[in-house]
Amino acid sequence: LDDRDGKIWMDGQLVDWRDAKIHVLSHTLHYGCGAFEGVRAYKTDKGTAIFRLREHTERLFNSAKILRMKLPFTIEQVEEAQKQVVRENALESCYLRPLTWIGSEKLGVSPKGNQIHLMVAAWAWGAYLGEEGMKRGIRVKTSSYTRHHVNITMTQAKAVSNYTNSILANMEATEDGYDEALLLDASGFVSEGAGENLFVIKGGVVYTPDLSAGALNGITRNTIFHICQDLGLKLVEKRITRDEVYISDEAFFTGTAAEVTPIRELDRVELGTGSRGPITEKIQSAFFDIVNGRNPKYAHWLSLV
């Protein structure tokens, strides 16, 4: 990913892709305090547009606030930086990665006095869990790793360090031949995937874990809430047990990278009919209409670059 043409926005400047480097004594590299976003831009009839740019940018600022990092830029500047990298790299549809980290002035746990940096990169990235998975559904394994407790790492921050837990869970699941991991919270209730929120459907009602289970407040998750309302589907946020997932009619993961990915199996237990369910398909199709600019009701969620 580092050896290619293009531009990356770093601390207010566009730099050549290959020159976008940091020092090995960067504080974040040692202690893991940093925050990032995952954002997508889609091709629409009006041109390339970033989906829910304001919400993603606000979440980045909130993550930084939780981590006591003061970003030396305004929300407007960070929004413009994201539009700029899509334009400069001539991308029609892409994934964007804004990341903030602490500089290399000194080490020691306290980052006081170190500079806060910010970069934005963008590149083409297809279906995160595979094209096939989007149609057939993916196979998921309950992780032996517990999701972060709400008072250990801060679960509403999209913090760099939170992802060690995600990496361990994802590697365990994929090395066992599954596509993704499902993590439970410290009390044993369903929390989220390694990089996705979970939804289950039972008797026509859509359920998702409430945020006290330590799941990230996903922006795609919120988009699904709107879609459910539009489709007349009842949506309930509640504590969910792993066996409720086993006996659900349908289930799916959501995320900026994962979009809406159906789940066909958990722990070798077939969910519903063992393929993408009909309600999931409806939600998925409504989602792609919105992000691709085919639903005028949500035109305000698309920022042309």
- Residues recognised as catalytic: 158
| Given 34, 38, 133, 293, the residue binding ligand PMP (CB under 6 A) | 38
Q: Within 225-244, which residues bind ligand PMP (CB under 6 A)?
A: none
CB of 163 to ligand PMP, least distance (A): 7
Q: Is 219 an interacting residue with respect to ligand PMP (CB under 6 A)? A: yes
Residue whose CB is less far from ligand PMP, 255 or 262:
255
Q: Is 232 exposed, middle or buried (0-12, 13-18, 19+ CB in 10 A)?
A: exposed
In angstroms and rounded to an integer, the radius of gyration of the C-alpha atoms of the chain is 19
CB of 218 to ligand PMP, least distance (A): 3
Q: Is 133 an interacting residue with respect to ligand PMP (CB under 6 A)? A: no
CB-based contact 200:217 (threshold 8 Å): no
| Distance of alpha carbon 120 from alpha carbon 9, whole angstroms | 5
Q: Is 180 an interacting residue with respect to ligand PMP (CB under 6 A)? A: no
Q: Is 63 an interacting residue with respect to ligand PMP (CB under 6 A)? A: no
| Given 256, 280, 284, 303, the residue binding ligand PMP (CB under 6 A) | 256
CB of 267 to ligand PMP, least distance (A): 20
**From 15-23, 94-102, 168-176, 252-260, span contacting ligand PMP (CB under 6 A):** 252-260
Q: Is 272 an interacting residue with respect to ligand PMP (CB under 6 A)? A: no
CB of 258 to ligand PMP, least distance (A): 7
Q: If you write DSSP's letter for every residue of 148-196 in order, what string do you get?
A: PPTTTS-TTS-BGGGHHHHHHHHHHHHHTT-SEEEEE-TTS-EEEESS-
CB of 215 to ligand PMP, least distance (A): 6
Q: Is 218 an interacting residue with respect to ligand PMP (CB under 6 A)? A: yes
Q: Which residues bind ligand PMP (CB under 6 A)?
A: 38, 166, 192, 195-197, 215-216, 218-221, 254-256
